[in-house]
Structure 1
């Protein structure tokens, strides 16, 4: 009997069961949200790519940030839109692992990119005379690769370890597949020891990312205290980054809370918390940077004015 139930080929997602009476409204809102996220991110990416004046480290990293937002949302929205039109919410075993990989690597990449962006701001404000030699094209390329490949490799290791587990249930009480949810379905708790160890190592690595961001801004703030010019640069270029960092931390903390204590919350609230990072961050980040950074704002408004 145990062997039969451990060979899971499909998962049934039950996160939408409580809201299916409003499927038309939810589909419309979700579709509009996804379209707007794609629009604002693509506009920012295309603006940076086409304007040679923006081929600078700060804008390249911002472009990377927006691309990662599109990557994460693409792993979620098409599937949830399909589920809102379906009476049965099913995903294949391999499809579930791929979605979990995308969600995992998206969140980790966001923090990695934020750490690299904080380093860029540290060099720009604390070591301005050496900025172009330190943040060379080769260095920026390496940092971009680091912010994408390292999270992807760590996430892949976690997912591969999850794929070896024997599962005793095909039912996931969430809107989408997450690695820790799949691990909870394992038949024998002893099988998850290695998974837990690797997960804790991953958490420690990204805690160091957070500490690095704090370290960077300690030096940035110390440098800005006695310089009006640096204070202006801080307000212009660092505030959007800090806003994005705040959005990430709040949504991530709510996600951790949902992971640990979500079983005591109503399903609707669990669903809202589960998708916060996939709505607020990709939605707000392009707006924050587009409105705050003068060069981007002028290029976008100039393009709109020219077309009209």
Structure 2
């Protein structure tokens, strides 16, 4: 507690050998952040510039990549500052804001993937009704819900914990996440149950919906002609890869917090870094390489740059 400023500060105690390897950590994370911005922005700009990519599927992909950039920007700047600082601290209010942004954007990823599943189902299984169902208004509503619903869910525990009394001021992590609940003198049973509800509403249920939808798509595609099977494979595979990646990373986050006391410190840091590095970098690579229309535009763009 800073008595002079009346501001509560939290020490981020999860940094390993930061004083010895600070410049190496800084260089690695700065490179990762630059790559995340470059890869994601490149695909988004490609979708915006090319009118034949102004379709619901590509709009959802652009939204997903923008979500990755926002997610990374919530983590990376503070990490980079911490690597070069003598003390790795964060104000309690900023910590709560980071928690809110981290989990609301994480859950938005699942809902955006669920919106993509709806789009692919209508496109492949009900192609004649696609223009009627997937209108600009419908796409806008799905995008709005994908960001507003998780934010509303996550805001409740954050707001209720603003004035909660802290008994310790050291967080075993390199950024603020649910491990912050270990700082409180008294933990609310209501908030613990509410957290389970949030996990199901904006995490597990959307994931089950996506799996169910793509299973139905694949069954229908298998029974259809070859062109339909090919279309299903080309458009559904990237979404499934992203879903699997993110589900694994979400499991990492739960495991890190639940096994905090017994988990090796170095392994905990490595797993935590995978959450903020792996998906934001590989999402645009997956869509850039696996989505035929996007990869074709990228190839043409590279060829033009080569001969200019």
- The within-5 A match list for 1:147-296 is 147-178=146-177, 180-189=178-187, 192-205=188-201, 206-227=203-224, 228-296=226-294
Instruction: Give the unaligned 5+ runs of structure 1.
Output: none
What is the TM-score when the length of structure 1 is the normalising length? 0.93
Q: Secondary structure at the match of 1:12?
A: strand
How far apart, CA to CA, are the structure 1 residues paired with 2:273 and 2:25? 13
Tell whether the 8 Å contact from 1:23 to 1:85 is kept in structure 2 after alignment.
Answer: yes
Counterpart of 2:303 (choices 286, 290, 305) is 305
Q: How far off its partner does 1:249 sit?
A: 1.2
Tell whether the 8 Å contact from 2:124 to 2:217 is kept in structure 1 after alignment.
Answer: yes
What is the TM-score when the length of structure 2 is the normalising length? 0.93
How far apart, CA to CA, are the structure 1 residues paired with 2:280 and 2:130? 29
Q: Secondary structure at the match of 2:90?
A: strand
Q: Secondary structure at the match of 1:37?
A: helix
Tell whether the 8 Å contact from 2:222 to 2:229 is kept in structure 1 after alignment.
Answer: yes
Say whether 1:18 aligns with 2:17.
yes
Q: Secondary structure at the match of 1:263?
A: coil
Tell whether the 8 Å contact from 1:18 to 1:268 is kept in structure 2 after alignment.
Answer: no
What residue in structure 2 maps to residue 139 of structure 1?
138
Q: How far off its partner does 1:152 sit?
A: 1.2
Moved more, 203-212 or 87-96: 203-212
For residues 236-260 of structure 1, give each alpha carbon's deviation from its aligned partner in whole angstroms, at most 9, with x where no partner exists.
1011001101111111122222221
Q: Secondary structure at the match of 2:223?
A: coil
C-alpha RMSD over aligned residues? 1.5
Q: How far off its partner does 1:8 sit?
A: 6.6
- The within-5 A match list for 1:30-179 is 30-178=29-177
Q: How far off its partner does 1:184 sit?
A: 1.6
Tell whether the 8 Å contact from 1:8 to 1:167 is kept in structure 2 after alignment.
Answer: no
Tell whether the 8 Å contact from 2:75 to 2:175 is kept in structure 1 after alignment.
Answer: yes
Tell whether the 8 Å contact from 2:16 to 2:265 is kept in structure 1 after alignment.
Answer: no
How far apart, CA to CA, are the structure 2 residues paired with 1:122 and 1:294? 18
How far apart, CA to CA, are the structure 2 residues paired with 1:160 and 1:215? 34
How far apart, CA to CA, are the structure 1 residues paired with 2:9 and 2:162? 13
Q: How far off its partner does 1:264 sit?
A: 1.4
Q: Secondary structure at the match of 2:179?
A: helix
How far apart, CA to CA, are the structure 2 residues paired with 1:94 and 1:284? 31
